[in-house]
Amino acid sequence: MKFKFKKYSPLPGFGLTFGYTIFYLSLIVLIPLAALFFKSFSLTWHQFWDTVTDIRVLASYKLTFMAAFIAALINAVFGFIVAWILVRYQFPGKKFIDALVDLPFALPTAVSGIALTTIYSKNGWIGQILEPIGIKTAFSPLGIMIALTFIGLPFVVRSLQPALDDLDLEVEEAAACLGANCWQTFYKVILPAVLPSLLTGFALAFARGLGEYGSVVFISGNMPLKTEITSLLIISKLEQYDYAGATAIAVVMLIISFVLLLLINLLQSWNNRRVNNGGVN
């Protein structure tokens, strides 16, 4: 099959818009990232390897990816519920809750970090309940997860809302008429229909979690090997004027993130192909 770069479209301007896209992406994304790579090249391979395989760095990678992943998973589940409530039901205060969802977007991350730390620390409202039963939240990986969950919630909710809005009620009724129970209707009919949006929301929340700094540094306690996230390590390297070392850590982070996001995108397009299969409706 011949590869077609451009499909016929009645709208002109492909050349212009494509050129603009490339230019813009280069200026805003690619050039700074390339600079990052070049800076890290000032290290020898040996130095580079030593920096990124430092035990503290490795621990931070593991913690950051795990925390971001689990937080995104939690958000996928609870964000789904929030989006479902907001789309499907009418209740007093709905607009208020809808606005509340965006708050983690709007709040300066440091502010949310301090607020979360206050609540979850030993004397905080929630911390004082959890601490006696042996659950340590602030200054532990759990605290990091809480912060990342807080930060990522709007991504899942906002990606899911339009998809849930588009769901055809008749399809659910059809499933029920055919004898499916609630759970079967959910995982056989509703979930596959909104899966692409759920994946998008998950990917966005995950990506946001990987790079998060402000809200985490307060609640994590920043104990080396235990609660130190990668962005914090990068900042501390920068504070020690070790620019090359900071970029080395960043480059590895960047590559892993990119590969993971690419995988999620591939998964999504595979799923889209399967669902839509050439047809529009």
Partner 1 sequence: MSIIIHNISKKFGAFTALNNINLNIPTGHLVALLGPSGCGKTTLLRIIAGLETADTGKVEFEGDDYFSPVVYGKRIGFVFQHYALFRHMNVFENVAFGLRVKPRKSRLSKAEIKDRVFSLLRLVQMEHLSDHYPGQLSGGQRQRVALARVLAIEPKVLLLDEPFGALDARVRQELRRWLKKLHDEIHVTSIFVTHDQEEAMEVADQVVVMNEGKIEQVGTPEEVYHKPASGFVYNFLGNVNLFHGRIEHGQIHIGEISMEWPENELVINEDSHEQLKTATVFLRPHLLEIDKSPNYKSSFRAKIKHINAAGSQVKIELVASWGDSIVAEISHERFKELQLKKNMEVYVSFDKQNLFITPGLLT
CA 115 to chain centre: 21
181 lines the binding site for partner 1 (CB under 8 A): yes
In the bound state with partner 1, the residue whose beta carbon lies nearer, of 165 and 173, is 173
Contacts of 123 (CB under 8 A, 6+ apart): none
| CA 251/CA 33 separation, integer angstroms | 9
Single out the residue of 173, 224, 258, 270 in contact with partner 1 (rule: CB under 8 A): 173
Q: What DSSP character marks residue 107?
A: S
| CA 257/CA 156 separation, integer angstroms | 18
In the bound state with partner 1, the residue whose beta carbon lies nearer, of 1 and 280, is 280
- Give the range of 6-14, 65-73, 129-137, 188-196 binding partner 1 by CB under 8 A: 188-196
In the bound state with partner 1, the residue whose beta carbon lies nearer, of 102 and 168, is 168
In the bound state with partner 1, the residue whose beta carbon lies nearer, of 94 and 274, is 274
175 lines the binding site for partner 1 (CB under 8 A): yes
User: CA end-to-end span of the chain, whole Å?
Assistant: 26
| CA 154/CA 224 separation, integer angstroms | 30
184 lines the binding site for partner 1 (CB under 8 A): yes
In the bound state with partner 1, the residue whose beta carbon lies nearer, of 10 and 179, is 179
170 lines the binding site for partner 1 (CB under 8 A): yes
Tell me the number of residues near partner 1 by CB under 8 A.
Answer: 25
Q: Do the Cβ atoms of 221 and 63 come closer than 8 Å?
A: no
- Give the range of 72-80, 135-143, 177-185, 197-205 binding partner 1 by CB under 8 A: 177-185
| CA 195/CA 7 separation, integer angstroms | 27
Single out the residue of 70, 189, 234, 251 in contact with partner 1 (rule: CB under 8 A): 189
| CA 60/CA 76 separation, integer angstroms | 24
Single out the residue of 9, 90, 123, 277 in contact with partner 1 (rule: CB under 8 A): 277
In the bound state with partner 1, the residue whose beta carbon lies nearer, of 42 and 276, is 276
Residue with tokens 């020898």: 44
What is the CA angle 5-11-17, rounded to 5?
60
Q: What DSSP character marks residue 85?
A: H
174 lines the binding site for partner 1 (CB under 8 A): yes
Q: Which positions lie near partner 1, rule CB under 8 A?
A: 168, 170-171, 173-181, 184, 188-189, 192-193, 274-281
